Structure 1
Amino acid sequence: MTVTSTTIKTTPYACDGATVDFAFSWEVWETSEVKVILRLASDGTETTLTEGTGASSYAVTLSSDMPSAGYITTVTTYSALYEIVIKANFPETQEVDYGEGDKFPSASSEEALDRGVRLTQQLGEQLSRAILFPESTTLEDIELPEISAARADYYLKINNAGSAIEWADLVAYGDLNSHDNGASGAVHDNLVTDMVEDFTANSNSVIPGFSLNATAAEVATGNEQTKTVTPASLAAVWQYETIQVPAGSLRPAQTNAGTQDIQEYPGNEVQRDYVEMEDYNDESVGYDITLWLPDTWDQATLKVMASWMASYSEALNLGASIELGYQIRAYNAGSPIDTNWSTPPVYVTDAVTNEASDTEGETIASANIASSVPGSTNRLDVRVTRRSIANNASAPIWLTQLLFQFKKTNQASGW
C-alpha cells in the first residue's frame, strides 16, 4: 500500500454521556498502535486511558484486513465535561528481517516502509507542539536548564547577556497573582510609580485607580498635588502635640516663690502675665495641669520649654546666662508644690542675647523630662526653678510661658 494521508491524530471528540465508540481514520497493524487520551474540556487536563477492561480502559476494533483503520470503545461512558483524542502510537522499532538468498518479500518490505513513514509523521506531530526558533536563526546548541524541586514556581527567561535560557524566581520580579505579605513591595511600588509617572507626565492629573502615597515631608509642605495622603503620612506630620501654659496659670510655691503679676507693654496696651524670678534665691513656681493630658500621649516623649525676658526694672548683661530646672510628678492635691519631689530638677542653661528690658527675646532650650514621669497618669504637677548658684545674669527675669510637647501614639476615644 501507499501512505497518502498525514493524519495520525483525531480532533477532540466531545463526549455526551451516551457515546462510547470513537473512530480513527489512519491504518494500523496492531491494536497497541493507538493511544487514547481523556481530556477535561474546561482546562485541558489529560489522562491516558489503557487498553483493557478496567474503568479507565478501552478496546480497539479493526477489520480483518491489515493494516486497518478502526474505532475504540471506552468502558466508561463519559459526560459532556470530557473529550476523547485518539492518536498514533507506532513503536520505534524495525522488525523486518531479510535472509540471504531469500525471495524478496514485497509485502513485509512495504509494511516496513509504511511504518517508517508513519513513525516520521508521529515525530512530526510531536515537533508541531514544540517551541522552535525561526528557520533563519543562527542559534544552535541551546539547552534548557535542569528541572528540580528547588526550582518549583520558577519560570524561564533569557539571561542578561541574551545568550542562554535560565530559571528566574517569579517573586524576584513581583508575583502579581498572589499576596506575598510585602515580599515584592519594592517591585510593585516601582511598577505603580512608572505607570503613574508615564500617565501624569506634563500634567497634574492622576490615572484613575492609581496614585502614589505622599511622604510625611510632602504632606507637611502641602505642595504635592498628585499623591494620596495616607493615615501613616498624616500620623507622621500630626504626631506631636504642644500645650501652651501662660505664666498666669502657674501656681507659686510656698517657699522662695516667684512673684506673679501682669505687665502692660508701653504704648500698645498689650498686657502679659509673668512670674518674676530673682537671682539671689532658688525660686520656684509650679503648675498643676488640671486640663489633663490626652489619652494618646506618649510619656517617654514629654518635653518642656520656657519663654522668658528681662524685667522692666533692670536690664540683663548681654552674654550672661541663666539656668532653669524642671521637675514633674503625678498630681498631688494635698502636697505643696515645692515638697515631696522624688527626682532632682533637669537643668537647662540659656545665654542672654537681648539685654533690653522691654523686649521678650529669649526661649530656653527644651528639656526632656520624660524620665521622671510616674507610672501611668494623665494629670501632672510641674515645677520650674531658677538656680541662682549656676547663673551670672545678676538681675531678675520674667518667666512668661511654658510649652509642653509630647508625641501622640493613637487616636483618643471620644467622651
Structure 2
Amino acid sequence: MNDTLIQIGQQAKKAAVKMGQLDTITKNQILSQFAENIVAHISEILTANQKDLANATEMPTKFTDRLKLTEQRIKNMAEGLRQVAALSDPIGNIDRGWTNEAGLLIEQKRVPIGVIAMIFEARPNVTVDASALTFKSGNAVILRGGKEALNSNLVLAEVMREVLKQNGLDENIIQILHDTSHKTADDLMHLNDYVDVLIPRGGAGLIQAVLKNSTVPVIETGAGNCHIYVDQFAEEQMAVDIVVNAKVQRPSVCNAAEKLLIHQNVAKKLLPAIAKALEKHGVELRGDRRSQEIIGSIKPATETDWSTEYNDLIMAIKIVDNEQEAIDHINQYSTGHSEVIITDNYQNSQTFLNQIDSACVYVNASTRFTDGFQFGFGAEIGISTQKLHARGPMGLNELTTTKYVIRGNGQIRK
C-alpha cells in the first residue's frame, strides 16, 4: 500500500469528523465562494484544460467533448455550486421517530457517510460536482480522475481548497490524487480503514474493474444502453424530436439513447421520418431485417449491437410486434439506466412504466433529462443503476446514511 495514499486517507478521515459538524449556513457560504472563485479563475482553468486537450492524442474524438471545457461550461459548474447551496440540507433530518413499549424515544437521523472516494475518467466537471455534493452532505472526498484531465482537475480542486483555507477550514475536506496510475487506483480500492464508500464514474470497463477488485463498498454507476420505444399511438413529430434529441444532442454521455424500437403498425410511416432526421445529423443506423426493408441505408445489426453502449453517432433499430415484445427486449439488453415510451395511450404508458426495470423510465420525454442538474439536485455524484443503496441520479440525500438516536430516562431491559 502506498504510504502517501495512507496519509491521504488519514487526512480525509480527520477532515470528515470536522466536516460533519459544520452548520448549513457555513456550508452554503463556502459553496457560494467556491462558485465565485471558479469564475474568477476561468482563464487559469481554460489554460490547464488546453494542456489536457493537447496531450489527449490517444483519446477517441468522441470522448474529447467530455474533456473539453469552455467559459460557458465553467460558468455552468459555478451555477451548479450555487444550486447545491440553495438546496435543503439533509443532515440532521429525522426520517422517523416513535416511542417503544419501554418508553424509549427512538429517532432515525440523517448523518454523513464519512469519507467518499471517487474514481472517474476524463470529466473535469466531476471534480466540481463531487466536491459540491460531498461538501454539502457533510463528507470528505478523495478524487482520483483520469490522466487525460489531470491538469484541469488539479486546478479546479486547488481553487476550492483555496477557499477552504481562506475560511480556516481543513483543506483536506477535498483531496485529489496527483498520481493517476492504475496501481494507485487499485490501492484506493483497498483503503478500507479510511474510505467508507467508493463511487466509480466512467465507462463500463472502469466500472467493472472497480466492482471486481474493490474491497471498499461500491456504489455502481452504470453504463447507459438506453432505449426509446415508439408505440403505435405515438405522435409523429414528437417521436422525431425526442429520438433526435436523445441521440445527437450529446452522443458521448451515458444518458444518450442507443436503441430505437418501433411498433410494426407505424414503422413504415414513422421510421422514414426518424431515419431521415437522424442521418441529417450524421447518425449511422443499424437495424434488424424489417427495419432494413423499410430503409435501405440501414446496416444490419448483430446480436452484439443490442447490448452495446456506443457513446457515438450510432443507433440500432428494431421493429417489434407489440409493446410486450419491446418491454421484454429492453429488460433483456438494458443496463438499467433510462428508457422511454412515446405514446398517447395512457394504458400503454402505465404498462411500460410498471414493467420496465430501469432506474429512470420516461413517457414522452428525452433520456437526456436523466441528470442530477435537470432533476433539481444542483449536480450529481453519478447515476446509479444498482438497487442498493441508491438508484438513479444521486444527489445530497444519497450521500448520507442514518443512525438511531435513542433517549431514555433510566430504562433497563428485563
Normalised by the length of structure 1, the TM-score is 0.20
Normalised by the length of structure 2, the TM-score is 0.20
Q: Which has the larger radius of gyration?
A: 1
- Normalized per residue, the structure richer in helix is 2
Higher RCO (CA-CA < 8 Å; seq separation 6+): 2
- Normalized per residue, the structure richer in strand is 1
